[in-house]
Chain A
Amino acid sequence: MVDALFLLRAMDGIGDRELLLTRDFLELGEQSRRKGRKLWRTVLIAAILALLLAACGYAVYRATMSHRELHRSDENSYYLDIENNGPEGGVHLELNHGTCAMALHFDTEETGCLYGFRITEDAPIDPAWSSGGTTLKTLFRTYEPGGPRPAEQQRSLEQCLQDAGMTEAEAENCYCSMTFSDEALFERPAMRIEVLDGPRLHGIDLILGWPEGEATVVREETQGELQILEVLIETPRKDGGTEKTLFFFRFDTRRQVLLSVAGAGELLDFPALEAIAACIELYETDFVYSLDHSGQNFSVHGLAYG
């Protein structure tokens, strides 16, 4: 403790240039007024953006969704059933509360695309997952809106993004990037995650192995419409804590994909399920979502655009 304090004091040797650089980076010092103005501007833009997106979302909701229910089928399982009148087909989610395994099924018309993840049988997985049954070890997401998104809605959203000062590249990234976090995975030597085939997407086997040590970028490639931008794996910290697994995806079209929610550990509970449900709902209604249930070893972050 004292030794580290010594080193902390020794940080005073850092030069003025670096201190000022970092002060500006952290927006400390003399910038409070500017920061205040910037904050107000951000809040205003965010409010407008939220309002417009809410309006878009509600319109889509009213147009396509007719039924949405969350069931508890037995003591350990939850079941989300969404039916709609639109061309998409149904969305179906199952979660086995007891085993922390879950499944998302999105049934589509024949023309539908199918994107998803499946934790394969041959992967060495935790017994808790195995006991959940095969279907519960499958995570799916399919999406095929059955036609181009309404031009008006498209324009509204693009206007929002423009108002928010987002570039097209940033917006593209926001639509489809997300963080997938499953802290329990770190305790396992390897796990295989497979992106399933769809009519317009060739399958990708993404084999994740994490050697001892620090983060590893496993792969970066493009397959069909899917580009995996980065896969970052980090091993457990020596102090017993865990790091996160991050996946970033980009899709060439803007109509895909929520993806992959993962439950982990014994702590997954009803709030986590609510997060998943909210995630689906927001996605379906074109909302921007940002959810974090890291307290339950579960988190979903990102912006989705249906």
Chain B
Amino acid sequence: MEDAAIVELYWQRDQQAIAETDKKYGAYCQHIAYAVCSDRLDAEECVNDTWLRAWGAMPDKRPTVLATFLGKITRNLAINRFQRKTRKKRGGGETELALEELEDCIPAALDVERRYELQEFRQAIGRFVSGLSETEQKVFVARYWYLCPVEEIARRLQISSSKTKSMLFRLRNRLRLYLKEEDLW
């Protein structure tokens, strides 16, 4: 079913919307959630919560790209769940690793007030990524949005893991500089 038709089902409050969404985007959202949570059950719950959120959001929203709309909801839910769990116990597979890598790119002291700047960071990162080459976009987004393992990215690009890591290293440096230029550092 086309995305527009699925969205229309949501607007008509037809519960078939959720079934159709699950059929079309269940695997995609499950992948996103699992990448963050590293736990099948948690991932499934995130996906189910995503459908509820989508149900609550439409109407009034009418997303232009349903895949990313759902993906972002799933990812945020998964990050929330991951955060809750890691407060209790550390250990989250690729998420942990990605977080460690990203720590280089943020200011040393990010106080509570700066949390309000999340939107500015979002916009800056959006601009930063849109200015990258296509390959760089794939590598960066695969790693830091989809939390894909480095080896998997390397395999798909048919380059070595070392080279992929090197690209990520450079991209993180560039991101850090970009954030400095944007006075977000």
Contacts and interface: CB of A to CB of B under 8 A. Distances in A.
Nearest to A170: B158
Given A3-B103, A21-B138, A234 B166 contact: yes
Query: Dominant SS at the B interface?
Result: helix
Contact of B125 (A11, A25, A28, A30): A11
Contacts of A29: 25, 27-28, 67
B129 A25 contact: no
Contacts of A13: 121-126, 129
A169 interface: no
B146 A8 contact: no
A208 B107 CA distance: 36
B9 interface: no
B54 interface: no
B110 A10 contact: no
A21 B134 contact: yes
Contacts of B145: 11, 14, 19, 22
A148 to B, nearest CB: 31
Interface in A6-27: 6-23, 25-26
Interface string B83-119: 1001000000001001110110111001000010010
B24 interface: yes
26 contacts: A1-B103, A2-B110, A3-B103, A3-B110, A4-B100, A4-B106, A7-B105, A7-B121, A8-B99, A8-B144, A10-B118, A10-B125, A12-B76, A14-B145, A16-B65, A18-B141, A19-B145, A20-B68, A21-B141, A22-B142, A25-B142, A28-B28, A29-B28, A214-B166, A214-B170, A232-B162
Interface of A: 1-23, 25-26, 28-30, 32, 179, 214-215, 232, 234, 243-244, 246
